Amino acid sequence: MKEKGAALIVVLSFLVLVGMISSTIVTISQKSARKIKVETDRAISSYLAEGAISRLLWLMMSDLQKNTTRNVANRFDKSSSDSSTSKYVATGRPISIHYYDTKITARIFDMASGFNISGSSGAQALQALIQAYSMSPAIVTSIKVFMDRFSDYINSGLGGRSANGMNKDDYTSMGLSPLPRNDQLEYKDEVLWIPGAGDIFTPNQFGRLSELNIIPPHGMYFYANKINFFSADKAMIMAQCNFNADEANAIIQGRDNWLKGDSNLSIYNFIDTNYMMKLTQQFSFQDSGYYTLVISASQGEGYYERMMIVSLKIGTTISDNGIQYYEYLVY
């Protein structure tokens, strides 16, 4: 009997072990299947977004040939000769693009969205922020400290240290060696390596630092005389027009309401005329020709969605150099 009992225990133990192994295999298989599905969805969504970007590019090129004047502030002004009805303008209004039976959401922004911090005097471009936040001493102090650190970051390293600046020893002690660069910035997001940047600059809804203009890759050119109003955030509106926070909030609310509403209505119906007078002086309401395209794509409800963001120059034709991107991001 003892032998039979021992044998039963061995058999039961073996069955438990087999059950555990089987359960583990099933769990691993299910996990692998889910992972494969997610990765497949991500890959397909990425291809859809890339294809939709190309389609939007051709749609915009065709539209630019038909509608050469693209000043949004004048589009519905009866005294203006601009009667463009194009929907492919840089306002950020959501646009639906049908791509192989898949509905894609696109947004078009102007690349001229913020401060130009390229070059040897990039820090001085932020001077306007001091006036914008003049009623908030703590923020002004943070801006001044950051400007000193920014100046030290991009200078040759041979000059004197700024009042609130940081040199190589400071960065090394913070574990940030081999910073600083001691040269001009290569790309705008580099400012986030400078301590204190996070107190001033925050990502927009698409995860981009829209308060700062893109720094062109080597060999490419980008210049805009004015910031585009529809690409500007609250801080830019305050800095450029000397509006207070409440005024800037009212303007942004009016802009958002216009973007959500009837595209055939004038933006003057949503933003106070007195505000618009100053806004049209300080901002551009016309496309610069340099665009940032934001595409959200998925196979449909319940599938993984990916966002693709590209910045490029768009004209009526493609140049001999082909399509050149200032920025190409996939989330």
The pLDDT, as a whole number, for residue 35 is 64
Q: What is the pLDDT of residues 42-63, one digit of tens each?
A: 788 888 999 999 999 999 999 9
- 230-252 pLDDT, tens digit per residue, is 999 999 999 999 999 999 999 99
Share of the chain above pLDDT 90, in %: 43
Average pLDDT rounded to a whole number, residues 142-158:
87
- Residue 67: φ, ψ to 5°: -125, 90
Between CA 106 and CA 209, with CA 308 as vertex, the angle to 5 degrees is: 95
Instruction: Answer yes or no: are the C-beta atoms of 144 and 164 closer than 8 Å.
Output: yes
pLDDT tens digits, residue range 67-76? Answer: 776 778 775 5
Sheet with 325-330: list strands edge to edge: 95-99, 102-110, 290-297, 306-313, 325-330
Give CA 189 to chain center in angstroms.
Answer: 11
User: Per DSSP, what are the bridge partners of residue 106?
Assistant: 95, 295
The 10s digit of each residue's pLDDT in 177-188 is 899 988 899 999
User: Cα(176)–Cα(323) distance, rounded to whole angstroms?
Assistant: 36
Give the mean pLDDT of 189-203.
91
Quote the DSSP letter at residue 215: P
- Residue 234, classified by CB atoms within 10 Å of its CB into exposed (0-12), middle (13-18) or buried (19+), is middle
pLDDT of residue 28: 63
**What average pLDDT does the segment 145-169 reach?**
82
Give tens-digit pLDDT for 264-274: 788 899 999 99
What is the average per-residue pLDDT within 104-128? 90
